[in-house]
A and B are shown apart, each in its own frame.
Chain A
């Protein structure tokens, strides 16, 4: 039995994830996921974003590990026009809470506000993150990352070209 995951470990891990994203080190970010890892962004304006199922409603993002890899490959290309040149982003994480364990891993809730700066415009994406984390060697790994936006419409955001 490995030692239980602590809040301090989780905070350090999530801060590092945020930094990898803001530095556009996406191939390294992708390595944070387990082989069955998923990255989900539920639709905005729904009540049950924390538990909604991408098999029954239209998500903004519902990537399995293979598509996370494809998303990263794409975003690192010059032909991913929506992110060329890469916008500047700042992922802020707060209010980290450990919600408990289940057979899949440790459940974590955190609040986020992520700023995207592009063509002299600042646009904020804010909401709540739900993670399922597992131990992986000396560090942690993401089995699921679910970013629930607090928006009721993508106004003015329009798209979600980068990673939350």
Chain B
């Protein structure tokens, strides 16, 4: 019995428990165009964290889903998202990656915009425009159709009719809660965010981000290193947990693993000085959240994907990544480390140190992931067309969007691909 999928690029054979993806989806320019027109135009896309624009007048500029944006906070504390292009002739208006400003002045003809509200303030011209030229506001900086936040995570949407962010997040909202609940003072982005290009279709990084299956093989050298840090514990053998779909293509796996977390799991390499500090955090969590939830926040690790491209790895460190295509065979990623606001300096140091060893371009694991993307891309592009297999742990009657299996299975990825198929095929528009 074959289930018919929307696009034909995803093939489901329930009898034989096969879930397969056409590898042209990783290399075909026409498919990439469809992704850009559907997935990146209709889904909620992570834009930034509230801590990056904490004060009135703060702004950041960044490219999200192919568009240059300015995110700002105004005097009333309200956040805005504008397209970073002058309403006169289109020049990029704001050239700094971040800062604080009252006005933004276009370098070309000197049109001046209120940095907080986007209103056109001045055109640097004494003649040529009638009174009330901008009475209808058409020359104010163009606003991104939708901007909403959940627990200080800000998302934009280019579809004005999109469902609300909270409806969109579905079961993923709970996982953002598990991050936001780590501190009673809020979370913040730590300086040193990374922006990078690497070989491989963007979906290869998505799949990799919550694929626990590859850990023991691809990252063997990392686990060997980790075992030297926590004596007498085989890190691979002691992991246990589940992977699941969270609705709307979101998915995660969650495991128990004693590899140390500043919030809040002490291990000997952190040092005796850190021990009471981390234990105090655990006590605060128990008092605020109750014992059971505190245990989950402190001791469990999670890799989450919010469809289509937000990755939150809440494991040995806490990182936020977004992934975009850069042509069919290359990807672009933003990577940020997240920590608790007002974090103790020693714990901040431990957090960054713990994070560095695994994650990041100079870590002991991420470069090997990137190598795998390059090898997959090469294998796809330079051998005859074939199918990729994402069947591990599939049951005959699985509801892909809410599948659940062992964390080393691929249930979470099937949820993602099922949603991708629905969106590209036109069955799902995510509109209210």
Residues of A with C-beta under 8 A to B349: 54-56
Please state if A58 and B198 are interface contacts (CB–CB under 8 Å). no
The reply to whether A158 and B195 contact each other, CB–CB distance below 8 Å, is: no
Complex: how many Å from CA A64 to CA B349?
A: 13
Bound together, the chains give a CA A41 to CA B361 distance in angstroms of: 11
Chain B residues positioned under 8 Å from A81 (CB to CB): 218, 367-368, 371-372
- Residues A54 and B374 in contact, CB atoms below 8 Å apart: no
CA distance A67 to B226 in the complex (A): 11
Min CB gap A158→B, angstroms? 3
**In the bound complex, what is the Cα–Cα distance between A160 and B364 (angstroms)?**
10
**B190-205 interface with A by 8 A CB criterion:** 190-199
B222 surroundings in chain A (CB, below 8 A) = 74
Which of A56, A57, A70, A159 is close to B362, meaning CB atoms less than 8 Å apart? Answer: A159
- Verify A160–B195 contact, CB threshold 8 A: no
Q: Mark A53-90, 1 if CB is under 8 A from B, else 0.
A: 01111111110000100110110010111110000000
Contact partner of B367 among A54, A56, A70, A82, CB < 8 A?
A82
> Nearest CB to that of B220 among chain A residues?
A79
Partner of A54, one of B195, B352, B366, B371: B352
A31 close to B (CB within 8 Å):
no
Whether a CB of chain A sits under 8 angstroms from the CB of B155 is no
Task: Give which listed residue, B218, B221, B352, contacts A55 with CB less than 8 A.
Answer: B352
- Report chain A residues within 8 Å CB of B192: 42-43, 46, 57-59
- Is there an interface contact between B374 and A77, defined as CB atoms closer than 8 Å? no
Interface centre among A58, A77, A83, A155 (most CB of B within 10 A): A58
Q: Within the complex, which residue of B191, B348, B371 is in contact with A46, where a contact is CB–CB below 8 Å?
A: B191
Residues of A within 8 A of B199 (CB): 158
Given A58-B352, A58-B356, is A155 in contact with B370 using a C-beta cutoff of 8 Å?
no
Contacts of A155 in B (CB 8 A): 195-197, 332
Whether A158 lies near B368 (C-beta < 8 A) is no
CB distance from A46 to the nearest CB of B (A): 7
List A contacts of B370 (CB < 8 A): 82, 158-159
Point out the residues of chain A lying under 8 angstroms from B345, CB to CB. Answer: 55-56
**Interface residues contributed by chain B, number (CB under 8 Å):** 40
In the bound complex, residues from chain B placing their C-beta under 8 Å from that of A67 are: 357
Centre residue among A41, A46, A81, A161 by max chain B CB count within 10 A: A81
Q: Write the nearest CB–CB distance from B334 to chain A, whole angstroms.
A: 10
Interface string of B221-250 (1 = CB under 8 A from A): 110110010000000000000000000000
Q: In the complex, A128→B338 CA distance in Å?
A: 28
A58 touches B190 (CB 8 A): yes
Do A160 and B362 have beta carbons less than 8 Å apart? yes
Residues of A115-164 at the interface with B, using a CB-CB cut-off of 8 Å, are 119, 153-161
- The 8 A CB mask of B353-394 against A (1 = contact, 0 = none) is 101110011101011101110100010000000000000000
When distances are taken between beta carbons in the complex, the residues of chain B under 8 Å from A70 are 225, 228, 364
Whether the Cβ atoms of A60 and B368 lie closer than 8 Å is no
A interface residues, how many (CB within 8 angstroms): 36
Given known A-B contacts A156-B197, A159-B366, A159-B370, A56 and B348 have beta carbons under 8 A apart: yes
Q: Are B337 and A154 in contact (CB under 8 A)?
A: no
Whether B225 pairs with A74 at a CB distance below 8 angstroms is yes
| Given A55-B349, A82-B367, CB of A159 within 8 Å of CB of B361 | yes
**Contact status A154-B196, CB under 8 Å:** yes
Which residue of chain B lies nearest to A82 when distances are taken between CB atoms in the complex?
B367
List residues of chain A with CB within 8 A of the CB of B348.
55-56
Name the A residues within 8 Å of B361 (CB-CB). Answer: 60, 154, 157-160
List, in ascending order, chain A residues with CB within 8 A of B193's CB: 43, 58
Which residues of chain A are near B220, meaning CB under 8 Å? 79
Residue numbers in A under 8 Å from B194 (CB-CB): 43-44, 58, 60, 153-154
Chain B hits for A43, CB < 8 A:
191-194
Return chain B residues, CB-CB under 8 Å to A82. 367-368, 370-371
Report yes or no: A158 in contact with B197, Cβ–Cβ below 8 A: yes
B367/A57 in contact, CB under 8 A: no
Q: Given contacts A61-B356, A70-B228, is CB(A56)–CB(B191) below 8 Å? A: yes
Selected from B196, B228, B367, the residue in CB contact (under 8 A) with A153 is B196
Of residues 36 through 89 on chain B, the ones whose CB sits less than 8 Å from some CB of chain A are none
Minimum distance in angstroms from A64 CB to a CB of chain B = 9
In the complex, what residue of chain B is closest to A75 when comparing beta carbons?
A: B221
CA distance A160 to B366 in the complex (A): 10
Closest to B317 in A: A58
Q: In the complex, how many angstroms separate the beta carbon of B188 from the nearest chain A beta carbon?
A: 12
The 5 nearest A-B residue pairs measured at CB: A58-B192, A158-B198, A82-B367, A161-B367, A154-B196
Q: Could you show 25 A-B contacts with beta carbons less than 8 Å apart?
A: A43-B194, A44-B194, A54-B352, A55-B349, A56-B191, A56-B345, A58-B190, A58-B337, A58-B356, A60-B360, A60-B361, A62-B353, A71-B364, A74-B225, A80-B368, A81-B367, A81-B368, A81-B371, A153-B196, A154-B194, A154-B197, A155-B196, A158-B197, A158-B198, A158-B199
Give residues in B with beta carbon < 8 Å to A. Answer: 97, 190-199, 218, 220-222, 224-225, 228, 332, 337, 345, 348-349, 352-353, 355-357, 360-362, 364, 366-368, 370-372, 374, 378
Taking Cβ atoms with an 8 Å cutoff, the residues of A that contact B are: 41-46, 54-62, 67, 70-71, 73-74, 77, 79-83, 119, 153-161
